[in-house]
């Protein structure tokens, strides 16, 4: 029996306040309240933002080149699936078709999403990923398990800021960060709360 896929939409892209050159890409559950923040690199964030804003660079970026190359040879990217989360790193694949067969191609999540916006194809994930790495916006009682990132090194939680806070204070800070759409900060607070659950 096939595992049900959950559709995701791009909710936002914001500069990381704590990690130089990194960005927080936030994906939202299409028919739900959960958000999936993913830390990505600056180049990939730019590639996604340029396409979302419908800007045309003077020369093709790498992802534009990939799209032109694929279309020249009648290859379409039909969907992107974020299919796994291992030790804090998301794994994604492109589902492509050349007119006669479907082929799965492994990709970094940020590259896969940069291509999804260019090919105007849907982005999916599975329940186990959303339930372990998602942040619920309205039901604040449910603090999710550890989230993840791209292959950008994510610094460990800054205990200087969060270590001295009580769990209740951290939950309030998490609500405030979510309210201000500071998803990257929310992700770090969530990680600190998860560490406390385990210890």
Strand partners, 140: none
The conformation of residue 53, written as its DSSP 8-state character, comes to T
Residue 33 falls inside a structural domain: yes
Judge contact between 135 and 35, C-beta under 8 A.
yes
Residue 16 falls inside a structural domain: yes
Copy the structure tokens of residue 94.
């492109």
Distances, alpha carbon 18 to alpha carbons 29, 113, 138, 183, 186, in Å: 25, 23, 25, 12, 12
Residue 163 falls inside a structural domain: no
98-140 pLDDT, tens digit each: 999 999 999 999 999 999 999 999 999 999 999 989 988 654 3
Rounded Cα gap, residues 9 and 124, in angstroms: 9
Residue 141 falls inside a structural domain: yes
Average pLDDT over residues 5-19: 85
37-92 pLDDT, tens digit each: 998 988 899 899 889 888 877 888 899 999 999 999 999 999 999 999 998 899 99
Rounded Cα gap, residues 167 and 83, in angstroms: 32
Domain count within the chain: 1
The kind and range of the H/E element at 199 are none
CA atoms within 13 A on the CB side of 198: 9
CATH number at residue 77: 3.10.690.10
Residue 120 falls inside a structural domain: yes
**Percent of the chain at pLDDT exceeding 90:** 45
Domain span at 101: 5-155
Residue 146 falls inside a structural domain: yes
Residue 128 falls inside a structural domain: yes
The overall pTM is greater than 0.75:
no
Residue 172 falls inside a structural domain: no
């Amino acid at each position: 029996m096939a595992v049900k896929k959950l559709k995701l939409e791009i909710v936002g892209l914001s500069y990381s306040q704590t990690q130089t050159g990194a960005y927080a890409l936030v994906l939202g559950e299409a028919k739900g309240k959960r958000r999936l923040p993913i830390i990505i690199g600056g180049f990939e964030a730019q590639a996604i933002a340029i396409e979302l804003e419908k800007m045309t660079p003077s020369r093709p970026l790498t992802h534009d080149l990939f799209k032109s190359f694929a279309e020249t040879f009648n290859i379409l990217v039909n969907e992107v699936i974020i299919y796994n989360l291992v030790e804090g790193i998301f794994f994604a694949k492109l589902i492509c078709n050349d007119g006669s067969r479907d082929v799965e191609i492994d990709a970094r999540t940020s590259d896969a999403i940069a291509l999804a916006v260019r090919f105007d194809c849907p982005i999916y994930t599975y329940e186990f990923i959303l339930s372990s790495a998602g942040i619920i916006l309205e039901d604040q009682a449910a603090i999710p398990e550890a989230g993840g990132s791209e292959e950008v090194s994510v610094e460990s939680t800054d205990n200087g800021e969060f270590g001295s806070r009580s769990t209740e204070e951290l939950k309030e800070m998490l609500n405030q960060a979510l309210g201000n759409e500071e998803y990257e900060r929310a992700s770090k607070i969530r990680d600190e709360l998860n560490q406390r659950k385990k210890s």
